[in-house]
Amino acid sequence: MAEIHFQTLNRERLESLRHWIVVSEDPDALQPLPLPPAWRQHLQRELYGRGPALAQLPTPQGGWVTRLEAGPGDDTFTHLEAARRAVSPHLARGAEAVAVVFPPGDPGHWDKAADALVSALLCGAHRLPHFGKNAPDPVIPAIHLVGASVDSALIDWAVACAEGNNLARSLTALPSNELTPAAYRERLEGLAQAEGWEMTFFDRYRLRDLGAGAFLAVIRGSAEDDAGIVHLRYRPPGTDGPPKALVGKGVCFDTGGVNLKSARHMFGMHADMAGSAVAVGTLLALTRLDHPEPVDCWLALADNPIGPAAYRPNEVVTTLQGTTVEIVHTDAEGRLLLADTLALAAREPPRLIIDLATLTGSCVQALGDRYAGAFSPDPDLAHHTQALGRETGERVWPFPMDADYDQALESEVADIKQCALETEADHILAARFLSRFVPKDISWLHLDLAPARRKGGLGHIASEITGFGVRLTTRLLQTRP
C-alpha cells in the first residue's frame, strides 16, 4: 500500500510535487500551493469561479490540480463518488505522489473527505488481474495530507478497508479457469499462512459424513473433486469467548446447472463468488486493524456444473441440519450451499453471523445496482446495518422478513421448497429459506450484494467489479456487540 504522510511537507518538498487535490469550496485553500501568484489567481478564477463544471486544471509545471466537489456536510457516499472523480486525472497520469491540501478548520471537519480520497487513491491505483501482453504496471502514489488536522485512526481504517477491497476485487476478477475451487483454496492457504489465520477444509467426504446433502447435491455434477467449505479463524492474542462469523458464497462458476442459463446471463458468472471474496477482504481489513475480537470466516467453494450426475428439479435432499428440501430450480444453488455452510458455522456457536452473497437477480430488480439488500429477523440489526451503510458509503436497504412469505416455500414432499418457480420477491424467499438454518438465539444478517458489479463503478471504486461490502462489514463487526 501507499505511504501516508501527515503534515510532513516543507515548502521545498511541496514545490517538487506536481499533483494536488484541493479540498475546499474556498479559493483561499490554494494559498499553500507552490504556484506563482498570477497562476494561483488563474486557478482561483478557473477552479472556483466557473462552478463544478470545471474542477480540474493542468499547471505550468506539467502537473495537475483538482478540486474536491463535496463539502463537509455531504454524506459519505457523495464524498466517495466525488473523490473518485477528483483522483482520476492524477492516476491516469501515473502520479507518484499526490498532495491533498485541506484548509484550516476544526479537527474532524474534513475527515470524510480524507477517508474518501485516501480510499479512492489506493483502490484506483490497484490493478486488477490482466492477462494481455500490455498489462499496465501499477503506480501506487505516496499521499501527503497537508493542512487541517485529520484523524490518523480514520486513515488507518481507510487504508485497511482499501487493502481488503483490493483483495476482494482481485479475487472476483479472476477468470474461472484461474480461480477454480482448488486454486481458490490454494490462495487462501497462502493468505492464512501470511496473516496468521488458522485454516480447516471440509472436503466432500467430510461433508458427506456430516450429512451436508444440500451442498453435496450442487457439486455432484462436477468433474473435479475440489469443492468444499473453508474455515478461517482469526484469533488475536489474549481473546476468548464466542467469535463473530462471516459466511460467503464462493461459486467459482455458475452455469445454472440443468436449468441452464442463457449466454447473456451466464457471461460474468465467474464473479458469482464475490460474497466469499468480500468476506476474505473483510477478514484481511480486520487483521490489519488488529481487531481485538475473534472472527471466523466460512467460505462455500464450489462450481454449479452441468453433467450426467448434476442434480435436478424434484429431487429431495437432506441438509446438514436435518431439514429436507425439495429442489425446484438448479440455478438457485447458492441458497443450498449457504444452508449447509450456515448450519456448520452455527455449531460453534458464534455471537453474530453475517452471510454475504450475490444471491438473487430479484434483489437487483428491486434495488438496482447501487444498494445491497439487508435481511434479518432482528429489525434492530437490519436498521443498524442501514445506518452503517450511510456512514461507510456502502448503502443497504432492509427488506421484510415476515413469516407469511414461507407459504410460497411449502412443499408437499419435503420440509421446505428450495425456491418458488415464480420470481416475485425471490430475494425475500431466499432470505426466509436461509433463516431456517440459523438457530433463533444467534444474531444473523444476510446481505444480498446487488452492487457487486456495476458498469462505471460505484462510490470510490472505478472498476465494474466493486468489492462492495468490505467497508460496511468491517464497521459492522467493529461496532456490533
Residue 473 scores a pLDDT above 80: yes
Average pLDDT over residues 360-385: 97
**What is the structure's pLDDT at 411?**
98
CB-based contacts of 404, cutoff 8 Å, min separation 6: none
- Calpha distance 412→417 (Å, rounded): 9
- 143 with 185, same domain? no
Give the model's confidence band at 254: pLDDT under 50 very low, under 70 low, under 90 confident, else very high: very high
Could you say which of 335, 432, 453, 475 is catalytic?
335
pLDDT digits (tens, 9 = 90+) for 289-341: 999 999 999 999 999 999 999 999 999 999 999 999 999 999 999 999 999 99
**What is the structure's pLDDT at 448?**
98
In a domain, 155, yes or no: no
- Calpha distance 453→169 (Å, rounded): 10
pLDDT digits (tens, 9 = 90+) for 24-67: 777 777 777 777 787 778 778 877 776 655 577 787 677 888 88
Average pLDDT over residues 381-396: 98
**What is the structure's pLDDT at 1?**
66
- 237 with 110, same domain? no
**What is the structure's pLDDT at 106?**
66
In a domain, 170, yes or no: no
**What is the structure's pLDDT at 232?**
98
Give the model's confidence band at 110: pLDDT under 50 very low, under 70 low, under 90 confident, else very high: confident
Q: Determine how β-strand 97-101 pairs with β-strand 64-67.
A: unpaired
38: CATH: 3.40.220.10
- 269 with 346, same domain? yes
Average pLDDT over residues 240-262: 96
Catalytic residue at 312?
no
If we measure between CA atoms, which residue out of 476, 357, 370 comes closest to residue 426? 357
Residue 119 scores a pLDDT above 60: yes
If we measure between CA atoms, which residue out of 333, 396, 347, 1 comes closest to residue 167? 1
- 108 with 245, same domain? no
Q: Of 150, 184, 214, which residue constitutes the final position of a domain?
A: 150
258 or 134, which is more confident?
258
- How is residue 78 written as a grid cell? 457523495
Instruction: Kindly write down the DSSP assignment for every residue of 219-255, as one continuous string.
Output: HTT-SSS--EEEEEEE--TT--SPPEEEEEEEEEEE-
- 220 with 351, same domain? yes
Residue appearing with cell numbers 464466542:
242
Give the model's confidence band at 429: pLDDT under 50 very low, under 70 low, under 90 confident, else very high: very high
Average pLDDT over residues 101-130: 88
**What is the structure's pLDDT at 239?**
84
Q: Would you say how long the chain is, in residues?
A: 481
Catalytic residue at 112?
no
CB-based contacts of 79, cutoff 8 Å, min separation 6: 68, 70, 112, 113, 115, 116, 393
In a domain, 257, yes or no: yes
Q: Structural domain tally of the chain? A: 2
**What is the structure's pLDDT at 43?**
77
- 234 with 339, same domain? yes
- 187 with 314, same domain? yes
**Average model confidence (pLDDT) across the chain:** 92
In a domain, 163, yes or no: no
Average pLDDT over residues 445-473: 98
Q: Of 135, 150, 165, which residue constitutes the final position of a domain?
A: 150
In a domain, 363, yes or no: yes
- 385 with 471, same domain? yes
CB-based contacts of 401, cutoff 8 Å, min separation 6: 375, 376, 377, 428, 431, 432, 435
- Strand order through the sheet with 142-146: 4-6, 142-146, 97-101, 19-22, 64-67, 56-58
In a domain, 160, yes or no: no
Could you say which of 40, 187, 261, 351 is catalytic?
261
**What is the structure's pLDDT at 139?**
80
- Domain membership of residue 22 as a residue range: 4-150
- 102 with 231, same domain? no
Average pLDDT over residues 367-384: 98
In the chain, pLDDT over 70 holds for what percent of residues? 95
446: CATH: 3.40.630.10
- Specify whether the CB–CB gap between 425 and 438 falls below 8 A: no
**What is the structure's pLDDT at 177?**
97
- 51 with 196, same domain? no
In a domain, 253, yes or no: yes
In a domain, 199, yes or no: yes
**What is the structure's pLDDT at 44?**
80
Give the model's confidence band at 17: pLDDT under 50 very low, under 70 low, under 90 confident, else very high: confident
Average pLDDT over residues 345-354: 96
- 231 with 273, same domain? yes
- 140 with 183, same domain? no
